[in-house]
Chains A and B, each alone.
Chain A
Amino acid sequence: MTEPVATSNGQRMNGAAGHPSLKAETRGLSFFYGEKAALREVNLPVHERRATALIGPSGCGKSTLLRCFNRMHDLYPDHRYAGEIRLYPDDINLLAPETDPIEARLRIGMVFQKPNPFPKSVFENIAYGLRLRGLRDKTEIAERVERALHDAALWDEVKDRLEDSAYALSGGQQQRLCIARALATEPELLLFDEPTSALDPLATASIEALIGRLKSQVTALIVTHNLQQATRVAEFAAFMYLGELLEFGPTEALFNAPSQKRTEDYLAGRFG
């Protein structure tokens, strides 16, 4: 593994190189579905206001890793975490027993593989996360809904149909709605699990452009099947294989000069 470019204690490091500081990192993270280990001793840094891509063959544990960050596994029985996920700057362990998973989810947003809008209007889909955070002021909610829709590049398409059901939107629009839904809550970290795999190339391009623009605001962790996508949107890339993190580094470096044979084979399309 290459050296992480930020200190692991999470101190801001706006040093000479201008390297970003860490937003989060996993330390010796393992995860088990029942007895089956799906992640083994993963140490992954997540740099602030950058996009980090998780790549690797199907079934290598990318989604499993992503879903540890917002404790999504807690919804299902028979799971076990080991190790830590530190969230900075306050340096809490997301996996600690005293960490409330709901607190974690209030700070960490997620966009899923398939768009999953709620059976509510376009407006209410986005307002929902704000209401969960106790926001009651109608004008503030309306403002933040509009801003989120602008940020997700959806406003022009839906501004006249805010009261329509979200199911009336196209697949690409629904996915941008789901991104807007997450953005409205101003998450510190935004998790994407193959956000474009269910979309056509045009919708994919618009979502990639969107992720590119978002990076001034949020830290992104993106699982992707699409290697070009990783090079287009992510500054950092992590290659996973059979539940292990084999290689991590700046995307360019990892793609141009992988240090591991497996990474090289995967990038060359020899498996996966």
Chain B
Amino acid sequence: MATSLPRRRRKMESAIEWLLAGAALAAILTTLGIAAVLVGESLPFFRSVSLWRFLTDTQWTPLFADPRFGIGVLLSGTATSSLVALAVAIPCGTALALFLSEFAVGPLRESVKPILELLAGVPTVVFGYFALDVVTPLLQKAWPALPGFNLLSAGLVMGVMIIPYVASLSEDALRAVPMSLREGAYALGATRLQAAWQVVFPAAFSGVAAAYVLGVSRAIGETMIVAIAAGQQPRLTLNPFEPAATVTTYIVQVAKGDVPHGSLGYRTIFAAALALFLLALTFNLAADWIRRRQRLRGRIS
């Protein structure tokens, strides 16, 4: 008994280790698989359209008689809607996380959490129509010249959609800050707000930054809201008051259309998706770099 229990436990542990390794491997393989398909399908595209033209052309009209392939056009729509969304989601999500972890007690906290989860569970198509049919008309009261489809309304609603993700992950990071650090701040005479903002928040920053990156990824990958509320015509603009297509909008539009398989027009989907994939990857690598740098500075406890 004395020897068999540890042995059995060790067996169990190694089984769990294999299971976890398998799960990690599956995630890695899926990612590599996606990358392989995107690259494989994009290669023929880049044989017909030079990378230079792809990156510098100021028009995106792949299905026109005189096709132009400037991905910057779609990226501008993605960037604008994402910036609007993040301008909402990051401050609100951070404030909410600080509130939940440092200020709210008992019943209040317990009632905010389910609301957030509810928000995170709303299908994005609902958010899309909310943006188009509720938010845009409201905004038009303030700016009558605002077109029915616009990046602003889509971005704002997208921001609201992302708040729960940013808030929940940030809150986890804030909660993980040891109580002794808070006590240190309070003992020096800090108020709750000072301790939260000047000590707890910096201590949790790498985790909070990870939450922001998740928010960025959600924003640039969001499809339904922009497809419904931001209009679908490609337009090179950083003006949120205009309608414009994003990379994702374009992909749905073409994927559900009747573009022949294997045609150049069809391949644009993969080239566009590859651009999006690389963008998301860049953000994740940047987050990783921030984390690493913080760890080097010894900021992660």
Partners in one complex: yes
Establish whether residues A75 and B189, one from each chain, have CB atoms under 8 Å apart when the complex forms: no
Contacting residues, chain A, for B187 (C-beta < 8 A) = 70, 72, 105, 109-110, 112, 182
Closest to A167 in B: B298
B191 within 8 A of A: yes
Contacting residues, chain B, for A185 (C-beta < 8 A) = 188-189
In angstroms, Cα B183 to Cα A114, docked, is 11
B interface residues, tally (CB under 8 Å): 25
Which A105-150 residues have a C-beta within 8 angstroms of B? 105-106, 109-110, 112, 114, 116-120, 128-129, 132-133
In angstroms, Cα B180 to Cα A110, docked, is 12
Closest to B299 in A: A119
Establish whether residues A165 and B181, one from each chain, have CB atoms under 8 Å apart when the complex forms: no
Contacting residues, chain B, for A119 (C-beta < 8 A) = 181, 199, 202-203, 205, 299, 301
Contacting residues, chain B, for A178 (C-beta < 8 A) = 184
Establish whether residues A105 and B203, one from each chain, have CB atoms under 8 Å apart when the complex forms: no
Number of A-B contacts (CB under 8 A): 72
A253 within 8 A of B: no
In angstroms, Cα B297 to Cα A128, docked, is 19
B190 within 8 A of A: yes
Contacting residues, chain A, for B191 (C-beta < 8 A) = 102
Which B238-252 residues have a C-beta within 8 angstroms of A? none
In angstroms, Cα B187 to Cα A118, docked, is 12
In angstroms, Cα B190 to Cα A133, docked, is 9
B194 within 8 A of A: yes
In angstroms, Cα B297 to Cα A117, docked, is 14
Establish whether residues A72 and B183, one from each chain, have CB atoms under 8 Å apart when the complex forms: yes
Q: Residue B189 contacts which of A72, A102, A114, A116 (CB distance < 8 angstroms)?
A: A102
Closest to A129 in B: B188
Q: Residue B299 contacts which of A106, A165, A182 (CB distance < 8 angstroms)?
A: A165
Contacting residues, chain B, for A167 (C-beta < 8 A) = 297-299, 301
Q: Residue B183 contacts which of A116, A132, A165, A181 (CB distance < 8 angstroms)?
A: A116
Nearest chain A CB to B102's CB is how many angstroms away?
A: 11
Establish whether residues B298 and A165, one from each chain, have CB atoms under 8 Å apart when the complex forms: yes
B56 within 8 A of A: no
Q: Residue A105 contacts which of B188, B198, B298, B301 (CB distance < 8 angstroms)?
A: B188
Establish whether residues A72 and B202, one from each chain, have CB atoms under 8 Å apart when the complex forms: no
Closest to B177 in A: A119
Which B167-217 residues have a C-beta within 8 angstroms of A? 178, 180-191, 194, 198-199, 202-203, 205
Establish whether residues B183 and A112, one from each chain, have CB atoms under 8 Å apart when the complex forms: yes
A1 within 8 A of B: no
Which residue, A77, A112, A116, A133, has most C-beta atoms of chain B within 10 A?
A116
Contacting residues, chain A, for B301 (C-beta < 8 A) = 119, 167
In angstroms, Cα B105 to Cα A181, docked, is 30
In angstroms, Cα B187 to Cα A70, docked, is 7
In angstroms, Cα B182 to Cα A128, docked, is 13
Closest to A120 in B: B202
In angstroms, Cα B188 to Cα A120, docked, is 15
Contacting residues, chain B, for A102 (C-beta < 8 A) = 189-191
A168 within 8 A of B: yes
Contacting residues, chain A, for B180 (C-beta < 8 A) = 112, 114, 116
What are 21 A-to-B residue pairs whose CB atoms are below 8 Å?
A70-B187, A102-B189, A102-B191, A105-B186, A105-B189, A109-B187, A112-B184, A114-B180, A116-B180, A116-B181, A117-B184, A118-B181, A118-B184, A119-B205, A119-B299, A119-B301, A128-B198, A129-B188, A167-B298, A181-B188, A185-B189
Task: Please provide the 5 A-B residue pairs with the shortest distance between their CB atoms, ordered closest to farther.
Answer: A167-B298, A106-B189, A110-B187, A129-B188, A116-B180
Chain A residues near B (Cβ < 8 Å): 70, 72, 75, 77, 102, 105-106, 109-110, 112, 114, 116-120, 128-129, 132-133, 165, 167-168, 178, 181-182, 185
